[in-house]
Structure 1
Amino acid sequence: MRQNYTLYGWHLSYFTGKAICYLRYKQVEHTLKPVNLFTLTRTIKKKTGAAVMPVLKTASGEWIQDTSEIIDYIESLHHENPVTPNTPVQEFASMLLEAWGDEWWVPIAMHTRWSYPENFALFEHDAGKALLPWAPRFLQRKVAQRPANMLRSMLPYVGIVPEQHSTMNEWTEHMLDALDRHFQTFPFLLGNKPSLGDFGLVGTMYGHLARDPWPKRELIAPRTHLAAWIERMKNPAMFAGEMLIPNDGIPDTLGPVFHSIFNEFIPMVVQVGDMATQYAKENGLNKRLPRRLGDVCTTMGGKPFKRGALPYMIWMIQRALDCYTHMADSDKHDVRVWLRTHKAEHLLNMNLPRVERRALTVAVTALPKQHMENLA
């Protein structure tokens, strides 16, 4: 089935980069349309419930928001070149990698953009030109200040405060080095072609680290293998016929990545889940949660890291856990054995509430079992 799609977004947008690379890989006919002020604040908000990007418009007039749901939709119609591996460990690992790329890296992307003023001119140029494409330059600059100020105001909510800058910088250097070593051996995360995890990770690289002047020069350019992966992800269709690592294998070179997932990201999700459960007990089920429930403390590179508790990440991990739930018993066994090698089998028993996505946040639809008796 071939349809023409319109992707509304900006090249400088975290999640637009993820969607662009994915659509190019799937080789579906699509047009990237920069989001202007009217489309963002009126049309998209009316169609999806939030002024957000990217959004995919289908030939039938459907508007789909959230890159994971965009991918689900395209995968359901275009079966060639699937991005979800067909073996259990790689499938489960790729969903964890997508969630980690989508949620954990947001503070890094925002820090490397907004903590370094030399990046501001590119954002001002691109955002202004997109929002008011026919306006004089001085008006474009002026209108670009609104999203810039909004994004700057969010920095403390995701942990970007001066006392945590060194922690973020050290972690970023360490993780980019680990990824560079991995891509010296493997073209993509799980082998010779991209899978779901690659598209999750490329979001922070495409529009932020590999495009903004400071991180592009200081962080990406010195790491030539990582830089080469980013270039491959920009035009990934040529790799569609390649293979993932055989025998459902996960490369040892991804050890630092999964250490971060299991020891930094997952503990944060557990705490956010507890906060979402408490909110639902106090306010009832099926009510949209605030985008930020308060603050949560995890670790980053072995150091304490405090950031906002965003309940959306529960939905992302829920997707991975649902994937496991629907596996055959033999496949579940393989996943548990793999998790055991990372001392992370407890991930399968996380006490998370059941959530449903509502635009940019979620609503709790069911409490964890041990809390059900406390619901009025």
Structure 2
Amino acid sequence: MRTLYQFPISHYCEKVRWALDHKQLDYRTRNLLPGLHARTTKKLAAESTVPVLVDSGKAIQDSSDIIDYLDSRYPDTPLTPGEPELKEEAQYWEKFADERIGVAVRAVCYDTLLDHPGLLIPIFTANGPWYGRPIMPVIYPKLRLQMRKLMMIEPRTVKLAQQRLEKAIDKIDAHLKGRRFMVGDRFTRADIAVASFLAPLCKIRKFSVEWPAVYPEPLESLTASWAGKLSWVERLYQDYR
């Protein structure tokens, strides 16, 4: 049985969950506790980050590398276009999502959410180790500071992340005019990458996380300002997730 080591809240992990589900591959998830996860991941792979997919004794880390592996190992229902030009375009948009959306969404969301432990702790501990619920409130103050430091979340960088995200959303919105998919005329890894990374801004219900109906401010106002340009994400989730 394949095992995906993950954080349910991570949009990088959602990218892999979506790829696995799209390919109709059986797998189980192992939810790790932020701050304590490295004890597990460093035994499996080179870095401490999630996602990590373990398949037949082989550990693959990084969401893009995992999709490469899945398309190579399980070629049915491919997510990478076979045509060289379309493959290059799909890889471009996936890299664009990694560089311009993923980190920016994380910074913008956590800048607000980290100040609301009552909201985040249940998400961090959901379906995780039994000791998560009693220990997380104890370690959370230190974890909050560590996450801000490691993710470089401070006023200047958050402002830059918002600006970068605004430009990325505008670029994707313009690209999708008259299009159903990011690349060509079928669903690809480009769609998964872009939509999964933007999903937290839409509070997507098929994300494996119980998002609040309303985010704390200023995150709620910020996501509301982008809602009109993110309807494609909701439609893609409805049709393909």
- Structure 2 match to 1:25: 22
State whether structure 2 residue 75 is matched by structure 1 residue 79: yes
How many residues align structurally? 228
SS at 2:3's partner residue? strand
Are residues 1:140 and 2:147 paired?
A: no
What is the CA RMSD across the aligned residues, in angstroms? 3.2
Task: Tell me the residue number matched to 2:155.
Answer: 162
For 1:50, the equivalent position in structure 2 comes to: 47
Q: 1:172 to 1:136 in 2, by over 3 A?
A: closer
> How far apart are residue 234 of structure 1 and its match?
7.1
Task: Please give the TM-score of this superposition, normalised by the length of structure 2.
Answer: 0.76
Aligned equivalents of 2:161 and 2:74: distance in 1? 39
Q: How far apart in 2 are the matches of 1:126 and 1:146?
A: 17
Distance in 2 of aligned mates of 1:23 and 1:216: 31
Which of 84, 87, 90 lines up with 1:94 in the alignment? 90
Structure 2: which amino acid aligns with 1:197?
Answer: A
Question: Alpha carbons of 1:15 and 1:147: their partners in 2 closer, same or farther (altered >3 Å)?
Answer: farther
User: What residue number does 2:207 align with?
Assistant: none
Q: SS of the residue aligned with 2:230?
A: helix
The Cα offsets for residues 170-208 of structure 1, whole Å up to 9 and x where unpaired, read as 4433432443454463232124432122233234223x4
What pairs up with 1:357-376 in 2 under 5 angstroms? Answer: none
Distance 1:175 1:91 in 2: 21
How far, CA to CA, are the matches of 1:119 and 1:230 in structure 2? 27
Shift of 1:14: 3.0
TM-score, scaled to structure 1: 0.52
Alignment partner, residue 41 of structure 1: 38
1:224 Cα deviation from its structure 2 partner: 4.6
1:208-228 CA distances to partner (integer Å, 9 max, x unpaired)? Answer: 433463556642685356234
User: CA distance change for structure 1 residues 178 and 101 in 2, over 3 Å: closer, same or farther?
Assistant: closer
Q: Aligned partners of 2:120 and 2:35: how far apart in 1?
A: 19
| Runs of 5+ consecutive residues of structure 1 not aligned to the other structure | 238-376
Matching residue within 197, 201, 207 for 1:209: 201
- CA gap of 1:35–1:201, structure 2 versus 1, over 3 A, is same
Structure-to-structure mapping, 1:282-301, within 5 angstroms: none
Change (3 A) 1:179 1:217: farther
Provide the residue aligned with 1:123 in structure 2. 120
Which of 5-14 and 223-232 deviates more?
223-232
Contact 1:16 1:54 in 2 (8 A): yes
Equivalent position of 2:183 in the other structure: 190
Q: 1:227 aligns with which of 227, 231, 234?
A: 231
Give the letter for the 1:193 counterpart. Answer: R
Whole-angstrom CA distance in 2 between matches of 1:216 and 1:30:
34
Task: Check the 8 A contact 1:114/1:120 in 2, yes or no.
Answer: no
Do the aligned residues in 2 keep the contact of 1:9 with 1:32 (CA within 8 Å)?
Answer: yes
Task: State the structure with bigger RCO (CA 8 A, min sep 6), 1 or 2.
Answer: 2
- Look at both structures and tell me which one has the larger radius of gyration over its CA atoms: 1
Deviations 1:7-58 (A, max 9, x none): 1112211310111111111111122221247983333211213322111111
Match in the other structure for 1:15? 12
